[in-house]
């Protein structure tokens, strides 16, 4: 096992925040003919890189594709294609033009099962689109490695990420709707029945696939996720079989008044079993920390330091689980991350 000092040195060398590749930013709108839905995207394209693994980035409720740019730039600079999705129906259109006194209510209405299904569909459509433009020769101007795909999201985007990772929704409003598969296209040879880890052993629900799961996703980053202490952990989380990095803060409360507590953000990590999980809890971190914005009255210098921490730990996670870097996995799980972040955050791990 690496010493904490050696592990920290390894992390610094392999997840430097100095970009290894020049990043070109391009905005496009992709049209999903099956759903007759336009999906705006912002692409962070690493130039002159080896075939790039892909990270699909899902914004929070009321956000846009421009959000979390600090992560798009860091991941793109490390050689990942970052596709920052914008989800119509739960994006900035929810509150734009709405009187300030009515905006919270508008956001609450948009946090619904229908929009979660649409968001998960956007993730799968984006992967379908990347395969299509690669195969027909159009491409994006860079080489892609579409066998290595992660999804990341903040707040409602964390819901989205965990939904395509396999979360189930037995108690949610609209559960019957969530029980219907969305009919997303699948790559040849990639389907639910043969996906590793979705059948055999465990409790009866262990073989039941999450209704919005996309088996092409290999890892997930969930910023400000949430669960309910009233849920059966296996019923909700028993079909998540990929590594997840969970990021939250001790002040990560509910910004739209639905009663979510900071402790609720820990439930997905506490509930997912049988696969590597990493939890990072930032001391004093609030809900908007992960968006890249600092709220009025917050410590700007501290938040800037936390943003650098988030960039580094997410780069380590992506390196470990998309690129198969054993040293970075050891750093995450073996004490290096705990030592490196001890001034700013608490780290917990669960190994497969």
Torsion of CA 227, 237, 229, 151, to 10 degrees: -10
How far CA 317 is from CA of 219, 220, 330, in Å, comes to 9, 9, 10
Lowest-pLDDT range of 1-15, 77-91, 244-258, 301-315: 1-15
Which run of H or E residues covers position 319?
helix 300-321
Longest dimension (CA), the chain: 56
| 40 closest CA partner among 30, 48, 53 | 30
The CATH number of whichever domain residue 158 belongs to comes to 3.40.50.1820
Spatial distance between the Cα atoms of 11 and 336, rounded to a whole number of angstroms: 8
Enclosing H/E stretch for 328: helix 326-333
- Distance from first CA to last CA of the chain, Å, rounded? 17
**What average pLDDT score do residues 129-149 get?**
89
| pLDDT (0 to 100) of residue 192 | 33
Residue 214 has pLDDT above 70, yes or no: yes
Q: What percent of the chain has pLDDT over 90?
A: 68
pLDDT band at 15 (very low <50, low <70, confident <90, very high): low
- Structural domain for 301, as ranges: 4-350
Average pLDDT over residues 63-79: 96
* Residue 189 clears pLDDT 60, i.e. is over it: no
Q: How far is CA 254 from CA 57, 98, 153, 259, in A?
A: 21, 20, 16, 6
Under DSSP, is residue 76 helix (H, G, I), strand (E, B) or coil? Answer: helix
Phi, psi of 224, rounded to the nearest 5 degrees = 60, 55
Concatenating the DSSP letter of every residue in 5-67 gives: HHHHHHHHHHS-SS-SS-EEEEEEEEEETTTTEEEEEEEEEETTPSSEEEEEEE--TTB-TTT
Ranking 1-5, 194-198, 226-230 by mean pLDDT, the lowest is 194-198
In the beta sheet, which residues pair with residue 83?
43, 56
Say yes or no to pLDDT of 177 above 90.
no
Domain count across the chain: 1
Residue 14 or residue 131, greater confidence: 131
pLDDT band at 201 (very low <50, low <70, confident <90, very high): very low
What's residue 188's pLDDT? 37
């Amino acid at each position: 096992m690496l010493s904490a000092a050696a592990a920290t040195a390894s992390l610094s060398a392999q997840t430097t925040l100095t970009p290894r590749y020049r990043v070109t930013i391009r905005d496009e709108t992709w049209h999903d003919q099956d759903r007759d839905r336009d999906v705006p995207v912002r692409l962070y394209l690493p130039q002159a890189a080896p075939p790039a693994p892909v990270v699909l980035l899902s914004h929070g409720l009321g956000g846009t594709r421009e959000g979390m740019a600090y992560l798009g730039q860091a991941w793109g600079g490390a050689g990942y294609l970052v596709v920052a999705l914008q989800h119509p129906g739960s994006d900035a259109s929810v509150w734009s033009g709405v009187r300030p006194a009515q905006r919270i209510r508008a956001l609450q209405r948009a946090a619904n099962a229908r929009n979660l299904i649409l968001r998960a569909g956007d993730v799968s459509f984006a992967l379908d689109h990347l395969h299509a433009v690669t195969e027909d020769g159009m491409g994006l101007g860079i080489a892609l490695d579409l066998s290595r795909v992660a999804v990341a999201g903040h707040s409602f985007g964390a819901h989205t990420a965990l939904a395509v990772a396999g979360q189930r929704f037995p108690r949610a409003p609209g559960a019957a709707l969530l029980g219907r598969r969305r009919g997303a296209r699948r790559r040849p040879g990639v389907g639910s029945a043969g996906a590793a880890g979705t059948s055999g052993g465990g409790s009866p629900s262990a073989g039941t696939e999450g209704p919005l799961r996309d088996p092409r996703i290999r890892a997930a980053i969930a910023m400000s996720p949430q669960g309910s202490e009233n849920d059966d952990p296996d019923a909700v989380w028993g079909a998540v079989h990929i590594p997840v990095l969970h990021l939250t803060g001790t002040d990560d409360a509910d910004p739209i008044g639905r009663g979510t507590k900071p402790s609720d953000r820990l439930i997905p990590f506490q509930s997912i079993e049988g696969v590597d999980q990493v939890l990072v809890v930032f001391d004093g971190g609030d809900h908007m920390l992960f968006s890249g914005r600092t709220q009025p009255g917050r410590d700007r210098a501290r938040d800037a330091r936390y943003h650098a921490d988030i960039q580094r730990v997410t780069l380590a996670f992506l390196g470990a689980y998309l690129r198969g870097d054993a040293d970075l996995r050891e750093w995450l799980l073996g004490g290096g991350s705990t030592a490196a972040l001890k001034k700013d955050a608490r780290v917990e791990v669960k190994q497969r």
